[in-house]
Chain A
């Protein structure tokens, strides 16, 4: 498994981007709806294992728009709703849907076994990819994207523990560059509109 070094700075960047969310100093208007990476930079590459047990390398999706999401299957509604939003937005693209990939990285790899992912992820859209790895591998990837997550024991729940996590969609363009982050609650039509823009933009060779 390999992850670009130095990408941890993304975390800080994101936090500051969100601190500024809603404040006046937004950079020049863009048709994209999320918090943008300016300038866009190469999305940290990684290889994890998909729901069928095969290695999945993010870099293999070059040429497609990728929506990358970190969550866990015991999540009550924030994760499933986001997955549904992404599935719906993708379908609205018609035949261009094949240029959009959705990758769900579990931040609960201990419980989200391969069998769990294979039941859960494709149920939203058959094309969706669910990936997992060892806790260390997941941590490395999450850190590279500035994803915060934490196992919190729930002694009074049959769940045993919850995984508190940031609920953002990372949007990667067809050239493999991280373009923006969509916060939870972004409207479906806005996701669709952003995907259309990024699909039409094409890929830089």
Chain B
């Protein structure tokens, strides 16, 4: 998402300018030391995933060629959340969970009515003192090959790795999108 890139970079510059001018200006003796703004950590809120069937609802992949054979689509789902940056810009670089065979960072682009899903190269930027939203139609954490059914109302854990903040464990609420 180019716009988002530009936006987050833009925000980063704004924040940087704000931090620099804050340091240069009314610098109290205590604030002179390293230019580390209030060390408010990164916060992750509104973490949810779309309810979806698991692999156990699938027949064993011994089926005939007409049934799709070994290459049948695996059940998938996606995890969404809002990540609010702390004083420093950060980047979500990896996600893991035991509910799926593979967990990847993806984004969706809609252009001229065409939906394209792509893996995110290099991670999802979290702007300093700003936020990034993983939401339908945009960034998501893709769960590929669900090992269990994701039932609305239940929960599971996802381990997120950030470039600077390190590993954060979050609990994902499974929601039926039927509302």
Contacts and interface: CB of A to CB of B under 8 A. Distances in A.
A158 B144 contact: yes
Interface size bucket, B side? 35 or more
A39 B144 CA distance: 43
Contact of A76 (B71, B75, B140): B140
B68 interface: yes
Interface in B59-105: 59, 63, 66-69, 71-76, 78, 101-102, 104
Contacts of A87: 178
A148 B113 CA distance: 9
A147 to B, nearest CB: 10
B119 A156 contact: yes
Interface string A140-158: 0000000010001010111
Contact of B110 (A76, A158, A167): A167
A111 interface: yes
A81 interface: yes
Interface stretch (A60-68, A112-120, A193-201): A112-120
Interface of B: 50, 53, 57-59, 63, 66-69, 71-76, 78, 101-102, 104, 106, 108, 110, 112-119, 136-137, 140, 142, 144-145, 177-179
Interface of A: 15, 18, 72-81, 84, 87-88, 108, 110-116, 119-120, 123, 148, 152, 154, 156-159, 162, 164-168, 183-185
10 contacts: A77-B136, A78-B136, A111-B68, A111-B73, A116-B58, A158-B104, A158-B144, A159-B104, A164-B114, A184-B115
